Structure formats: structure tokens, C-alpha cells
């Protein structure tokens, strides 16, 4: 109803409007067209010529108006421009401006980068971070190819010259990955002689490359190859004490050797910079944890999984852990522990993510960094403990360099 109304409004408003050519193509993620159930991308109407054309027709048919209305997948309120420039439509693959096609498989490969990467000291604005696909499926633990595109895997080199993924992280801009202090400093790492080697982005199934899915229509969609980028600088919080019982300040940043360009499969999550997200205690909020379940001891899943966890009342969590002389404070968050599996789904060092509504879009913020949890993992009644990112936003911003 909302979308229909909006397009009627748009229709009237656009009669005399002159379109300003959209600069870079910007996408709000995958979608499915309402009529033919085709796979598409939610993009500015100016980037979807076959729908944009309709706006130029002086006398449209009811069918054309209906098509416009059915195609709307959102409104980009981050733009200051007129209504037409802000309309987002679900534009089917093949009808967009120059979609890439993989020569070998014929599959549509989405490897456009949306913008030139910004320098490392710039945080993405709302509208460029925390966004994934319009047709997100709630529930279930399997992720789709494009879900949580900010998830990073930390790749370690072992003394045997093998590589392994033993921690996770989250991309926060074109140059930095947020992770846990314990992923860079711990006696376990030291003893085993593992060296952080690089960061993997754009990964979904670690056992295949590239990652492809076959849709109901039998059409195959492949993500571009994952990328491994070496780490230029490791920045562990100055007050983090490796192997301390409380694991305070368990947070770290990795500066990548190169800037990364954002695609549908590599995109940053938003830092909780604004007061409302920074200061929220998030009690009873449902949050998402995703990852391959990687820990210092291995990874149980080859594909990215997800789970919803609920944030605990802080005092209740403190009481729980106090039994073991572990003192939690406001720089930590507790979540999960209600299901058998929940704390195992994420990656050590990976993000605890809170979906929020910004305009018509679901925007994800990184509320926590996975710090520690009960052993055995997923012990009923024991929440996982996360470093509360809101307490470290200023620390993060201070560390970012161009
Ligand atoms: C619609 O009209 C505008 C303004 O005249 C023009 O810039 C644009 O290219 C037209 N779009 C299509 C798809 O014909
Ligand atoms: C939590 O405890 C640590 C270590 O004692 C301290 O440095 C930090 O300021 C405390 N944070 C809050 C929010 O109480």
C-alpha cells in the first residue's frame, strides 16, 4: 500500500521533472520482480532504462503505471535530490545498464563497483553501509549468497605452511576490518605459531570458488571471486590484556594493504556512530550473528550461516558470569544462550549485528564483537559475551588513517 501510494505521488511529481543523470550505479541489493519473479537489483530508477522510459511517456497506460508501482523497492532518502532521483526500483537482471556476464558459464556476474573507494579515514555514510538485500529471508540458518557482505575471515599461516581461517571480522570501510583483540594477541596463537596472513572478503562457501547458486528458474548466479587482502597494520586496543579473565577491551582493527571497492558481495557494515545506536543498551533486542563458526579450533561450516540472538539484561548476565569470578561491565554485551546452537554460529571476532530501520531500509550496525562464550559452545542458559562497539566508536575513529 505504501509503495503504491508513493508511486502515484511520484507519478504526479515527475510529470514535469527533469532527471539528473545518476552518477555511479548504486544498489540496495537483490530483489525479485513482482510480476515475473525475476531476479533483479534494487537500484535508482535512472539506472533502469526500461522503467525510466515510462516516466518520459506523457500518456501512460494503467498497466505501465501498475508496473512502476509494482517495481518500487524503496526510496533512497540519503539523496537530497527530487523524488524521482530517490525512487528505487527492482530492475531485472539483463535490463540494467551493462550487467557483466561471465564468458565461461554465461552466468550473470555482478562485479561492478559502485564508487571509487573512499580513503581509509572515511566512514561510509548511511546508505552506503549496512545494507543488503531487499528480499532477506527471516529465520533459518542458511544465508543467501549476498547476505552479510561485510563478513570477513581472518586467514592465518601455520607453522606447517598451511592456512586456516580461525577468526572473523567485519568490514567497516574501504580499508579497515573490525575484529577482536584476542584474534591478534593470545597465548594460544603464540603457542601454536599462527601468524595472521590476510583477510578474506566476499566469501560465502569456503569450499567453492567462485560461489554460485542455481535459482528456481535454473539460472545460475555467481558472485565474483572472493578476495584475499594482506594486512598492513594490526591495531589491538591498548588496554586489552591477552588471556585476562574478563577480556575487557577485546577489540582490534586491521588495516588492509589496499583499498577495497564495494560490490554486492563486499560491503561495509555501519559503525554505531550516532547517539541513538551508540548509547543503546539493546536489552531484549534481536540481533544477528553470522559466520562460518570459525574458532581457534577450526570451522564447522563451509558456508556462511546466521542465527538470531537476543540481548540479555546486563545485570542478569553479570550475575551469571560472576559465579566464575568473571566481571562484566558496560563495555560488554551479552546475547544468545537460549538455543543449543546459537553461540556457535558466529565467528570468534565476528560482528553482532543489529538491524535498524532507516527510511524504508533495513540498515545493519555492528553492535558487538564476539569475545567469548561458554565452553562447550552453545551451552543452554549461558549467553555469549561481546565487546560493546558503542563504547569504542571514538577509539576506532581515532585509529583510522587515510
Ligand atoms: C527521459 O527524459 C530525460 C529528460 O529529457 C532524458 O534525460 C532521459 O534520457 C530519458 N530517459 C529515457 C530512458 O529515455
Ligand atoms: C570496564 O572495565 C574496564 C577495566 O576495568 C575499564 O577500563 C572500563 O572503563 C570499564 N568500562 C565501563 C563502561 O564501565
Nearest CA to ligand 2 atom 8: 331
Per-residue confidence band for 316, with pLDDT thresholds at 50, 70 and 90 = very high
Please give the C-alpha separations between residue 119 and each of 151, 179, 322, in angstroms, as whole numbers.
20, 20, 43
Question: Quick one: 200 and 262 in the same domain?
Answer: yes
β-strand 108-109 against 220-222: which pairing, if any? parallel
- Domain of residue 78, residue span: 2-7+24-97
Q: In this structure, is residue 215 part of a structural domain?
A: yes
Closest Cα to residue 149, out of 200, 107, 100, 98?
200
Residues 56, 194 within the same domain: no
> Of 122 and 374, which is predicted with more confidence?
122
Q: Give the whole-angstrom CA distance, residue 270 versus residue 264.
A: 15
Residues 67 and 169 reside in one and the same domain: no
**Is 209 among the domain residues?**
yes
Is the torsion defined by CA of 161, 164, 168, 172 positive or negative? positive
pLDDT in tens, 263-283: 889 999 999 998 889 999 999
Same domain membership, residue 357 and residue 219: yes
Q: Are residues 75 and 214 in the same domain?
A: no
Ligand 1 atom with minimal separation from the 56 CA: 1
Nearest atom in ligand 1 to 52's CA: 13
Q: Is residue 248 one of the residues assigned to a domain?
A: yes
Average pLDDT, the chain: 81
The CA 19 to ligand 1 mean position distance, Å, reads 7
Ligand sitting nearest the alpha carbon of 237: 2
Please tell me the predicted confidence (pLDDT) of residue 79.
59
Whether residues 191 and 93 share a domain: the answer is no
Mean pLDDT value of segment 99-106: 42
Residue ranges around ligand 1 (CB below 6 Å): 18-19, 49, 52-53, 56
209 and 192 Cβ atoms separated by less than 8 Å: no
Catalytic residues: 182, 250, 348
CA 275 to chain centre: 21
Quick check: is 55 in a domain? yes
Counting from 1 in the atom list of ligand 2, the atom nearest the Cα of 327 is 2
In the predicted model, what is the mean pLDDT of residues 248-276?
A: 94
Pocket residue to mutate for ligand 1, from 18, 43, 49, 52, most atoms within 8 A of Cβ: 52
Looking at the structure, do residues 53 and 176 belong to the same domain, yes or no? no
Rounded to 10°, the helix 49-56/62-71 angle is: 140
Whole-number pLDDT of residue 175: 97
Say how far apart CA 367 and CA 332 lie, in whole Å: 10
Q: Is the pLDDT of residue 103 over 60?
A: no
If asked whether residues 278 and 391 sit together in one domain, one would say: yes
Same-domain status, 287 and 371: yes
Rounded percentage of the chain residues whose pLDDT exceeds 90 = 39
pLDDT for 148 equals 93
Of 384, 324, 385, 387, the closest CA to residue 181 belongs to 387
What is the per-residue pLDDT for 160?
A: 92
**85 Cα: distance to centroid of ligand 1 (angstroms):** 13
Q: Are residues 93 and 155 in the same domain?
A: no
Do 237 and 162 lie in one domain? The reply is yes
Total number of domains constituting the chain: 2
CATH code of 76's domain: 3.30.1640.30
Is residue 12 a part of any domain in this protein?
no
**Closest CA relative to residue 291, chosen from 338, 230, 231, 353:** 353
Region 174-187: what's the mean pLDDT?
A: 94
What's the rounded Cα separation, in Å, for the pair 82 and 262? Answer: 26
Average pLDDT of the segment spanning 290-316 = 84
Q: Which of the two residues, 220 and 352, has the higher pLDDT score?
A: 352
The reported pTM is 0.72
pLDDT at 133: 63
Greater pLDDT, 389 or 264: 389
Give the number of the ligand closest to the Cα of residue 15.
1
Q: Is the residue at 110 inside a domain?
A: no
The answer to whether position 245 is within a domain reads yes
Give ∠ CA 171-336-392 in degrees, rounded to 5.
40
CATH value at residue 220: 2.40.10.10
Ligand 2, residues at Cβ distance < 6 Å: 239, 248, 329-331, 391
Is residue 139 assigned to a domain? Answer: no
Q: How far is the CA of 151 from the centre of ligand 2 (A)?
A: 28
Residue nearest to atom 6 of ligand 1 (CA): 19
Comparing 17-31, 47-61, 217-231, 298-312, which segment has the lowest mean pLDDT? 17-31
Name the nearest CA neighbour of 372 among 321, 323, 325: 321
Instruction: Please name which ligand lies nearest the alpha carbon of 279.
Output: 2
In contact, 83 and 74? CB cutoff 8 Å: no
Asked whether residue 59 falls in the same domain as residue 207, the answer is no
Confidence of residue 81 (pLDDT cuts 50, 70, 90): low
**Does pLDDT of 345 surpass 80?**
no
pLDDT tens profile 217-236? 777 778 888 999 999 999 99
What mean pLDDT comes out for the span 172-185? 96
Amino acid at each position: 500500500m505504501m509503495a503504491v501510494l508513493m508511486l502515484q505521488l511520484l507519478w504526479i511529481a515527475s510529470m514535469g521533472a527533469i532527471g539528473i543523470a545518476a552518477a555511479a550505479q548504486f544498489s540496495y541489493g537483490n530483489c525479485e520482480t513482482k510480476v515475473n519473479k525475476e531476479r533483479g537489483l534494487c537500484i535508482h530508477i535512472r539506472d533502469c532504462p526500461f522503467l525510466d522510459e515510462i516516466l518520459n511517456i506523457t500518456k501512460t497506460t494503467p498497466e505501465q503505471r501498475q508496473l512502476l508501482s509494482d517495481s518500487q523497492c524503496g526510496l533512497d532518502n540519503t539523496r537530497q535530490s527530487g523524488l524521482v532521483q530517490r525512487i528505487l526500483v527492482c530492475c531485472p537482471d539483463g535490463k540494467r545498464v551493462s550487467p557483466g556476464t561471465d564468458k565461461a558459464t554465461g552466468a550473470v556476474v555482478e562485479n561492478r563497483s559502485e564508487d571509487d573507494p573512499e580513503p581509509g579515514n572515511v566512514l561510509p555514510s548511511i546508505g552506503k553501509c549496512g545494507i543488503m538485500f531487499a528480499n532477506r529471508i527471516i529465520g533459518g540458518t542458511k544465508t543467501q549468497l549476498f547476505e552479510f557482505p561485510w563478513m570477513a575471515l581472518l586467514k592465518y599461516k601455520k607453522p606447517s605452511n598451511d592456512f586456516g581461517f580461525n577468526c572473523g571480522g567485519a568490514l567497516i570501510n574501504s580499508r579497515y576490518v573490525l575484529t577482536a583483540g584476542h584474534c591478534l594477541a593470545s597465548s594460544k596463537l603464540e603457542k601454536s605459531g599462527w601468524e595472521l596472513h590476510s583477510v578474506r572478503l566476499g566469501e560465502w562457501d569456503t569450499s567453492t570458488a567462485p560461489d554460485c547458486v542455481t535459482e528456481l528458474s535454473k539460472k545460475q548466479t555467481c558472485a565474483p571471486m572472493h578476495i584475499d587482502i594482506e594486512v598492513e597494520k594490526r591495531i589491538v586496543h591498548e588496554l586489552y590484556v591477552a588471556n585476562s579473565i574478563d577480556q575487557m577491551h577485546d577489540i582490534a582493527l586491521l588495516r588492509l594493504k589496499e583499498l577495497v571497492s564495494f560490490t554486492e558481495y563486499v560491503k561495509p557494515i555501519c559503525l554505531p556512530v550516532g547517539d541513538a545506536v551508540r548509547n543503546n543498551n539493546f536489552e531484549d533486542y534481536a540481533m544477528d550473528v553470522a559466520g562460518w563458526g570459525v574458532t581457534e579450533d577450526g570451522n564447522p561450516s563451509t558456508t556462511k550461516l546466521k542465527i538470531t540472538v537476543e540481548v540479555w539484561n546486563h545485570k542478569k548476565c553479570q550475575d551469571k558470569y560472576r559465579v566464575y569470578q568473571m566481571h562484566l561491565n558496560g563495555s560488554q554485551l551479552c546475547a544468545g544462550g537460549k538455543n543449543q546452537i546459537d553461540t556457535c554460529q558466529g565467528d570468534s571476532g565476528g560482528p553482532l549485528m543489529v538491524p535498524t530501520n532507516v527510511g524504508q531500509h533495513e540498515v545493519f550496525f555492528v553492535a558487538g564483537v564476539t569475545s567469548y562464550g561458554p565452553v562447550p559452545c552453545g551451552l543452554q542458559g549461558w549467553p555469549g559475551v561481546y565487546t560493546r562497539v558503542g563504547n569504542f566508536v571514538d577509539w576506532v575513529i581515532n585509529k583510522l588513517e587515510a
